Each structure stands twice: as structure tokens, then as C-alpha cells.
Amino acid sequence: MTNSNVPRILLIGSDGQVGWELRRSLATVGQVIAASLTGQEGPAVDLSQPDSVHQLFDATAPDVVVNAAAYTAVDRAETEPELALAINGTAVAIMAERAAARGIPVVHYSTDFVFSGDTDHPYREDDEPQPLNVYGQTKLAGERALLDSDAPALIFRTAWVYGVRGNNFLLTMRRLFREQSELRVVNDQFGTPTWSRLLAEVTAQILYRVVQGELDMARVQGLYHVTSAGATSWLSFAEAIRDLSDADCRLLPIASADYQAPARRPAYSVLDTSRFRTTFGLTLPDWRHSLALCLADLR
């Protein structure tokens, strides 16, 4: 830690939906250095450029790194694989290298899309990843770069992230409810909607315990699945958003094959979070509970 014993937390991707929530939650843990592509409220960083990542570490000298940035345009990644890999893989490898050299903790977020979805039971951390698309492949590359490094890292795989800002299913549905009287929504993909604030809050709680010496990073570092509890389809998620928003829109089920998306999605990507609960003693709420709280923020 620094001489003042207040850790300098480098938050990368501070303008994203998870990063925006982390700016507030991490303020209780230490001094947050908010880095983003725009650099509006802190240093700018272009994760597609290795030199930019190195310069960010040189300029900020962090005690903790939280990487909430990613290339998340799942369909566009099919035609921009090099850019997606640069941000989701190469940049993370540089973070791992720099964190290992300083011996500082790293928190990184990954995705359920590292799995194929060819199962009927929640995925555990030791299940074999088999991504179906470029996005999942590049996020898996970032995971492996951290796990293969000497950096003390926490990798949180999550799923179906939504929040009050950014591009996500919740905000898209609320907009479409205002514009259309009928929508077709995929009903054969299953996962767990996860509120960005939930991810930010559990991250802050864990990091607080780490910097206070209550948790030994050498013991707890590794890969964890972190989502809300429960599971649902995209259609049922849309129905819950509609009902809690008092919207009047007819929702019709369609198959994934009818959606015609460039990137294949896993049909079933529910994550088993028991390792996270056992290790950190944190119980994650049902996805419906978090959705109701998030929508209350939007009223």
C-alpha cells in the first residue's frame, strides 16, 4: 500500500455500466483512479493499444487494479476479431504482467459466453470452456492470461449484465416498450440476469476485506462465478421488465434460429455460484429482487 495506507485503486472502464457503479462502491475501499477511453473524469486509456496500457500503469502506480472494461459487442466481434482480442485478451495480459511485477491484486470480469451451453445443469468453474463465438473466445483468452500469470487475481465470471446506464437488455426493452405494441423475444436461451450494482457491491466488500488483511489473496485468488440467484429465459426476463414497468406491450416467443444474429449464443449458460458463496460468505439475491430494485432507481 501507499505511505498513507489508503490504497490507490485503478478502475479501468469507469464509464461502463459496471464501472460506473464501481466508482461509488470502491470509494469506501480506497482512492479510486477512474480510467476510461474518454478520460473525462480521470486518465484516458485505449485498451486496443498496448503502449497506452503500459503508460496508464506508469502514470498511476496503483495498489489495486479493477478491470471493468471489455469489448462487449458480441455480434460485431465476429467481424472485428483482432480488435476484440486486443481489448479482451492482450490488454488483460499486460495488466496481469504489470500487476505481477508490483505484487498487487487484480479483479477482472468475464462472461458465461465462455461456455457452449450444451448442458442442462449450472456450470461450475472447473467445467471445460467451449465458446461459440469470437467474444467468448477473446474473454477466455483474458481469463487464461491472468490465471497463467503470477498476478494475485480474482476473476468473476458473470452473465446477462444490466443496469441504469450503458447498452443492455433492460434499457433496450424499456425503450422498445414505449415505441412498439408487440415484440418478439428469444425463448430458448437460459441464463441469469445480473444487476451491475450487485457486481460492484460484492467486489467492494471483498476488496475491503483484502486491503484490511481479513482475506488472504494467496488463498482466495482464482476464478469464481458471480451472478444473481435463479435462472430465466430472455422472454421471461422481458416479461418481468414489462410487468414491473407497468408497460403495455405484447411479447411473443421466438427461437434463436429465427433471430438471425451473427454470433451464436449458448442455449443454457446458468452459472453455479456455490464456490463464491462458500469462499466469501456472501449470498446473492434472486434476479427478480435485484431487477425490482434497479427499476425503482429508474422511476
Mind telling me the catalytic residues? 135
Dihedrals φ, ψ of 269, to 5°? -135, 35
Single-letter amino acid code for the residue at 249: C
- For residues 271 and 203, the answer to whether their CB atoms sit within 8 Å is no
Q: How far is CA 299 from CA 147, 233, 244, 245, in A?
A: 41, 25, 11, 9
- For residues 95 and 53, the answer to whether their CB atoms sit within 8 Å is yes
d(Cα 98, Cα 288) in Å, to the nearest integer?
Answer: 39
- For residues 195 and 21, the answer to whether their CB atoms sit within 8 Å is no
Cα-Cα-Cα-Cα dihedral sign, residues 272, 87, 290, 25: positive
